[in-house]
Structure 1
C-alpha cells in the first residue's frame, strides 16, 4: 500500500473496524486477521488496538473479558446500539463522499 493509500485509510479506519464488528463480536487480533483477509493487508495490530480503545471510550461497543487458553483474558468487543448508529452515519457519509468523488472523476475525463 502506498503512502496516499495509507493516509486515505486512516480517515476511514474507525468505520472499517465498526463494520467488522457489525458482522460479529471479536477481539483485536481477530479483527486484524479478518480485515487482512479482506484486502487490508498492511494493517498493524497496534493501529486496530488504538481504534478499539477509542471506540470503547466513546461507548460504541460493549466489552466482555473472556478467558484465553494462552495468556490473559481477551477483550471481546460487541457493537452496541450507539455503535450501530455511528456505523450507519459512517456509511451515509461514505456514500455521499463516494458520489461526490465519482462526479469529480467523471467531469475530469
Structure 2
C-alpha cells in the first residue's frame, strides 16, 4: 500500500469523511475504524495530516471535549460544505470505480 500513497490520500479523504459523518469521531477512533475496515498499514501519521487539511479547507470542524480517559479530545464533525464534499466524493468514486473495474476486468 505504501507505493500508492498519492492515490490512497485521495481515497482516504472520502473514507475519513464517511467515518466522521457517522458521529463521535476523534482521531484515534477514526484510525481504528479505518484499520477495522482493512486499512491495516495506516498510522496516525497518515490520518492526522489529512484531518488538518480537511479542517483548513473547512470541510470538517473541530470541537474539544473532555475525555473520560484523560486530556481533552478533538472531535470532528462535517460542515455543510463537508456534506456536499462527501456526496460528490461518493458520486465520483462510484463512477470512477465502475469504469476502472470494467477496464481492468475485461
Normalization by structure 1: what TM-score? 0.85
3-state secondary structure, aligned to 1:73: strand
1:22 Cα deviation after fit:
1.3
1:25–1:76: 8 Å Cα contact kept in structure 2? yes
Q: Is residue 38 of structure 1 aligned with residue 37 of structure 2?
A: yes
Q: Contact (CA 8 Å) 1:61, 1:78: kept in 2 or not?
A: yes
> Which structure has the greater CA radius of gyration?
1
Q: Cα RMSD (Å) of the superposition?
A: 1.8
Residue 3 of structure 2 corresponds to 3
Output one character per residue of 1:50-79: Cα deviation in whole Å (capped at 9) or x when no partner. Answer: 011111111111211012345531110011
Q: Which has the higher strand share?
A: 2
Query: Where do 4+ consecutive residues of structure 1 move more than 2 Å?
Result: 1-4, 68-72
TM superposition shift of 1:106: 4.0
Structure 1 residues 69 and 86, CA, compared in 2 at 3 Å: closer, same or farther? Answer: same
| Structure 2 residue 41 is matched with structure 1 residue 51 | no
Q: Is the partner of 1:102 in helix, strand or coil? A: helix
Q: 1:37 to 1:86 in 2, by over 3 A?
A: same
Q: Distance in 2 between matches of 1:50 and 1:65?
A: 18
Gaps of 5+ in 1: none
Question: How far did residue 80 of structure 1 move?
Answer: 2.1
